[in-house]
Amino acid sequence: MRKLTVVVVATLLILALTAIPTAQIQPYDLLLRNGRIVDGTGSPWYRGDIAIRGDTIARIAPTITEPAARVIDLGGQVIAPGFIDIHTHARRGIFDVPTADNYIRQGVTTVMEGPDGSSPVPLAPFLARLDALPKSINIGSFIGQGSIRSAVIGDVDRKPTAKELDKMRTLVEQGMKDGAFGLSTGLFYVPGTFTPTAEVIELAKVAARYGGMHESHMCDEASSVVESVKETIAIGEQGGLPTHVSHHKIIGVGNWGRSVDTLHLIDEARVRGVDVTIDQYPYTASSTGIQAALFPAWAQEGGREQVLKRLKDPSLRAKIKTESVRLIRSERGGGDPKNVVIARCEWDTSLAGKSLADVARLRGMDPTIENAAEAALWLVEQGGCQGIFHAISEVDLERILRHPATMIGSDGEIPIFGKANPHPRSYGTFARVLAVYVREKKTITLEEAVRKMSGFPAQRLGLLDRGILRPGMRADIAVFDPAKVRDMATFDKPHAYAEGFSYIIVNGQIVFEGGAMTTARPGRVLYKR
Ligand SMILES: [Zn+2]
């Protein structure tokens, strides 16, 4: 009996002795040495090494000496969590450019789709298509209220019947079951603009049951921006879910300064327990359709055919023009036809980059505001265009950026390099915050900026295994030189990648290094769990 015990103990000892060294010498796949770790929580940076095994951060320590298949000395560059962009239109481009170079090259490793009330309905086939696509970037989606309303009752200005409302509830529920991160609304757009708040709240309650959030392109970002923020808060408060103001901005010179009031409302709501947050892009121009921006909502009801019919009726046309003049003078148009620039017209690519003043001149008219409105009507008649609108103040931008409940979101897309004249936000948002608002203007600290780009949006979306650098988290990582990082895309020359990033890692694999995309396609579809 005693002999047997000795044998058993000896065997266990041998097993233990052989097991421990095996575990110790199993090499890491990747070791990032000598970095300044900005971990995504907002805490000050610290010096350390990060070891990755598979798709996971295996260890973080002041010095890691164990072997790794690949070791990179970062020479003191910043190691941050890969950035998470909570508000993108990435389905414009992801299937053409699955490497999403414009995002990866500014440190973004996850993009969220389905914003502004607009998403594929149902969501599952779209997510399955994305899943089958070899891609560099992670992608998730919201389910869009506008798309659901459009599918159920069309782009019309009326309330739904009880049966239609039920159908919409079912579609929201289906979207959430398919993996949506919440309900998005675009109450500025047709048909979102025809939706009573109470109806949005009914649908928000469905998303709430599945742990989703609500995010909104609000009804108005100009003269009624304060009322719109109130509505967004009400949707969260009465819908029983986190609510979120997308791309918060104040449009129109006459409205500048109102971010004081909107942020005050958000602070008050948070104090009484409403979970409301914000995202923002760091530019003083917005981008959307010319028709959406410069036509009154009533003129857009019922789809394109109806719009064209109204434009043919002289008295309705005059009414639309009067409203367009007002919108150019005191809202999106920034008070000057030069402040509205065409990003893209599918029917005439040569118009990209021209302003409404240019279009008026091309049509043989002086570039007055009245003629610019006429030019806008003409553009819509021809087929419509995406526009860029310079009408935001820097003071409001910085005030919103400093707010602790503000995160960064590009509102961008995945452009085909060199094609059309997109808003530079698609290429530059994250790098611009780091270059202009951290390094140059010192509006916020580096750690705060990184928190707004990673840990904060991850927490918001419930991506509990991303957004922070810590062992056990997925290895989505951006490495950059804080002295060199900068956005290169401008309104005149938007097709330019950000600079200063040296390595971008997605799910443990390097997708960008040495100034070029690699062949790795480790991007995943993310689902709300
Ligand atoms: Zn939007």
Give residue-wise pLDDT tens across range 299-327: 999 999 999 999 999 999 999 999 999 99
User: How far is ligand 1, taken at its centre, from the CA of residue 117, in Å?
Assistant: 9
Contact 277, 460 (CB under 8 A): yes
pLDDT value at position 24? 53
Strand, coil or helix: what is 51?
strand
User: How far is ligand 1, taken at its centre, from the CA of residue 293, in Å?
Assistant: 11
What single string gives the DSSP state of each residue in 250-290? -BSGGGTTTHHHHHHHHHHHHHTT--EEEEE-S-SEEEEEH
Q: What is the mean pLDDT of residues 256-262?
A: 98
User: How far is ligand 1, taken at its centre, from the CA of residue 14, in Å?
Assistant: 64
User: How far is ligand 1, taken at its centre, from the CA of residue 85, in Å?
Assistant: 13
N residues, the chain: 529
User: How far is ligand 1, taken at its centre, from the CA of residue 115, in Å?
Assistant: 7
User: How far is ligand 1, taken at its centre, from the CA of residue 217, in Å?
Assistant: 5
Q: Which residue has the tokens 């991007």?
A: 523
| Helix/strand/coil percentages in the chain, nearest 5 | 40, 20, 40
Q: Read off the DSSP letter of residue 350.
A: G
- Cα–Cα distance, 340 to 51 (Å, whole number): 49
Q: What is the mean pLDDT of residues 393-402?
A: 98
User: How far is ligand 1, taken at its centre, from the CA of residue 192, in Å?
Assistant: 12
Handedness of CA 478, 481, 482, 488 (dihedral sign): negative
User: How far is ligand 1, taken at its centre, from the CA of residue 88, in Å?
Assistant: 9
The alpha carbons of the chain give a radius of gyration, in whole angstroms, of 25
User: How far is ligand 1, taken at its centre, from the CA of residue 498, in Å?
Assistant: 23
Contact 337, 369 (CB under 8 A): yes
User: How far is ligand 1, taken at its centre, from the CA of residue 70, in Å?
Assistant: 42
The helix (run of H) or strand (run of E) holding residue 108 is: strand 108-113
Q: How many CA atoms lie within 13 A of 334 on its CB side?
A: 20
Number of helices (H) and strands (E), helices first, in the chain? 17, 21
User: How far is ligand 1, taken at its centre, from the CA of residue 245, in Å?
Assistant: 10
**pLDDT-above-70 percentage for the chain:** 95
484 Cα distance to chain centroid: 24
Confidence of residue 7 (pLDDT cuts 50, 70, 90): low
Q: What is the mean pLDDT of residues 373-398?
A: 97
User: How far is ligand 1, taken at its centre, from the CA of residue 188, in Å?
Assistant: 8
User: How far is ligand 1, taken at its centre, from the CA of residue 79, in Å?
Assistant: 30
Confidence of residue 529 (pLDDT cuts 50, 70, 90): confident
User: How far is ligand 1, taken at its centre, from the CA of residue 9, in Å?
Assistant: 68
User: How far is ligand 1, taken at its centre, from the CA of residue 243, in Å?
Assistant: 15
User: How far is ligand 1, taken at its centre, from the CA of residue 89, in Å?
Assistant: 9
Peptide bond into 122 cis (omega under 30): yes
Beta bridge partners, 81, equal: 477
Contact 44, 19 (CB under 8 A): no
User: How far is ligand 1, taken at its centre, from the CA of residue 215, in Å?
Assistant: 10
Q: Which of 464, 498, 497, 461 is nearest to 86 (CA)?
A: 461
Q: Which residue has the tokens 């121009």?
A: 285
User: How far is ligand 1, taken at its centre, from the CA of residue 477, in Å?
Assistant: 27
User: How far is ligand 1, taken at its centre, from the CA of residue 189, in Å?
Assistant: 9
- Cα–Cα distance, 464 to 172 (Å, whole number): 23
User: How far is ligand 1, taken at its centre, from the CA of residue 65, in Å?
Assistant: 48
pLDDT value at position 128? 98
Name residue 282's amino acid.
P
- Cα–Cα distance, 19 to 285 (Å, whole number): 61
User: How far is ligand 1, taken at its centre, from the CA of residue 118, in Å?
Assistant: 9
Q: What is the mean pLDDT of residues 62-74?
A: 97
**pLDDT-above-90 percentage for the chain:** 95
- Cα–Cα distance, 422 to 467 (Å, whole number): 28
CA distances from 2 to 8, 10, 504 (A): 10, 12, 59
User: What φ, ψ does residue 348 adopt, rounded to 5°?
Assistant: -155, 95
Q: Which of 83, 87, 38 is nearest to 498 (CA)?
A: 83
User: How far is ligand 1, taken at its centre, from the CA of residue 40, in Å?
Assistant: 26
Per residue in 141-164, pLDDT (tens digit) is: 999 999 999 999 999 999 999 999
- Cα–Cα distance, 180 to 165 (Å, whole number): 20
User: How far is ligand 1, taken at its centre, from the CA of residue 116, in Å?
Assistant: 5
Q: Which residue has the tokens 């770790």?
A: 37
Asked if residue 410 has pLDDT above 70, the reply is yes
Residues near 15 by beta carbon (within 8 Å), at least 6 away in sequence:
none
Peptide bond into 191 cis (omega under 30): yes
User: How far is ligand 1, taken at its centre, from the CA of residue 246, in Å?
Assistant: 7
User: How far is ligand 1, taken at its centre, from the CA of residue 36, in Å?
Assistant: 35
Q: What is the mean pLDDT of residues 259-287?
A: 98
User: How far is ligand 1, taken at its centre, from the CA of residue 411, in Å?
Assistant: 7
Entry pTM: 0.93
User: How far is ligand 1, taken at its centre, from the CA of residue 486, in Å?
Assistant: 25
Confidence of residue 403 (pLDDT cuts 50, 70, 90): very high
Q: What is the 3-state secondary structure (H, E, C) of 192-211?
A: HHHCCHHHHHHHHHHHHHCC
- Cα–Cα distance, 31 to 5 (Å, whole number): 43
CB atoms within 10 A of CB 469: 25
User: How far is ligand 1, taken at its centre, from the CA of residue 184, in Å?
Assistant: 10
